[in-house]
């Protein structure tokens, strides 16, 4: 869920043919919900430890990207003040 910007899973649903499993953040009937999916067989065959490791790695990458973005924004603001 982290990769999609989500922070929690409020519901888990399956496609009508059960080929895909969906993790949903927010109300299921809310058009603004966040949703991620994967093949059900892949989900069933992926150990929890491996999934947890992927979540941690994605969170770390997002944190680094956010820090870089904030740093660039600060540099741009400082440059604008120096020119202004």
- Whether the Cβ atoms of residue 24 and residue 33 lie closer than 8 Å to each other: yes
pLDDT at residue 4, as a whole number: 61
pLDDT tens digits, 27-58: 989 988 899 899 999 989 999 899 888 878 88
User: Using CA atoms, how far apart are residues 66 and 60, in angstroms rounded to an integer?
Assistant: 10
**Is the confidence at residue 2, as pLDDT, over 60?**
no
Partnered with residue 16 across adjacent β-strands are: none
- Whether the Cβ atoms of residue 52 and residue 30 lie closer than 8 Å to each other: no
**Is the confidence at residue 19, as pLDDT, over 90?**
yes
pLDDT at residue 51, as a whole number: 83
- Whether the Cβ atoms of residue 33 and residue 27 lie closer than 8 Å to each other: yes
């Amino acid at each position: 869920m982290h990769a999609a910007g989500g922070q929690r899973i409020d519901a888990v649903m399956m496609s009508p043919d059960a080929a895909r499993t969906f993790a949903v953040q927010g109300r299921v009937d809310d058009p603004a919900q966040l949703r991620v999916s994967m093949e059900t067989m892949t989900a069933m065959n992926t150990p929890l430890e491996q999934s947890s490791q992927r979540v941690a790695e994605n969170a770390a990458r997002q944190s680094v990207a956010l820090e870089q973005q904030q740093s660039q924004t600060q540099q741009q603001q400082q440059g604008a003040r120096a020119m202004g």
